[in-house]
Structure 1
């Protein structure tokens, strides 16, 4: 059941974003588009309620429950940036907006982007961990709680790898003057 809810939430996430941006730029209805885009977090609430209900029924914790918490964290942590990224492209394509800026990999702007992206990952992992802790201490049995809490550790590994692959070794090319 939870896998289906995750799939529905993911499809709903993209459907709301795309329809909100199309309503904004193709139909020119900014107020309606804002309401559509503002409704995206409702999907996150649906997901967490479904997971809480499933755990409250005594369902053994499986990887799908962990995935739901991870998905929720990354949806909240990266959702606004993904919407902004897509917004620029839809505005350019349908409303005559400026073209998306492509960052030079050796620029200060690219380095700043890598740090911002990593901090989004920190936020996403913190939210996922908070969801796992909240579920463990509210609806889960002792056995379920132990399993939920054990799934926080991989988030640190994700952040470590992300840091090393992203901002840790980014360099700004010095101009030869």
Structure 2
């Protein structure tokens, strides 16, 4: 699988997502917008299928295969949140309303960081499960080294994220005024 295919499918994913939202609100066609939004996750299924087919045909895993697993895991764990956030941003943007997001501090910020880490952990679980599952399925370590290497790297990143995210429970973020 090439990086070009990976990029093309991700661009298509975001084009369908943004196109669906703009069609829904700017063009005032909610049914067509819903159809486009429904098609967006199918690009991730195509990505999964193409990655599996490539490896099954004897291809050697690359970092693109690992990224495919990451993108699929992100869609599963964060797809609804991303869609809600984009939906909100598009609605506000079309109404030309400024985005006002309060800066979280103290316990609220620590809670948000911990929750973010839990989402990251769920994404890691699905993504590394896909990577290591593919490596086990292929059963040729010389062809799947990129997958196992990416899983190890992501595990390190998850551990660092844990330390940072949970540090706010011990040392809460202070307000700017303090």
Moved over 4 A (4+): none
Alignment of 1:105-120 (within 5 A): 105-120=104-119
Contact (CA 8 Å) 1:107, 1:173: kept in 2 or not?
yes
TM-score for the superposition, normalised by structure 1: 0.81
Contact (CA 8 Å) 1:5, 1:50: kept in 2 or not?
no
Residue aligning to 1:74: 74
Change (3 A) 1:107 1:9: farther
Residue aligning to 2:141: 143
Structure 1 residue 75, shift from structure 2 partner: 3.4
Contact (CA 8 Å) 1:23, 1:30: kept in 2 or not?
yes
Residue aligning to 1:30: 30
Residue aligning to 1:43: 43
Q: Is 2:20 the counterpart of 1:20?
A: yes
Greater CA drift, 107-116 or 21-30 = 107-116
Q: Aligned partners of 1:166, 1:159: CA distance in 2, in Å?
A: 10
**3-state secondary structure, aligned to 2:102:** coil
Structure 1 residue 137, shift from structure 2 partner: 3.6
CA RMSD after TM alignment: 2.6
Residue aligning to 2:84: 84
1:76-101, Cα deviation, whole Å (9 max, x unpaired): 333322222221111112257x7544
Residue aligning to 2:57: 57
Greater CA drift, 83-92 or 45-54 = 83-92
Gaps of 5+ in 1: none
Structure 1 residue 144, shift from structure 2 partner: 5.2
Q: How many residues align?
A: 172
Contact (CA 8 Å) 1:77, 1:123: kept in 2 or not?
yes
TM-score for the superposition, normalised by structure 2: 0.80
Gaps of 5+ in 2: none
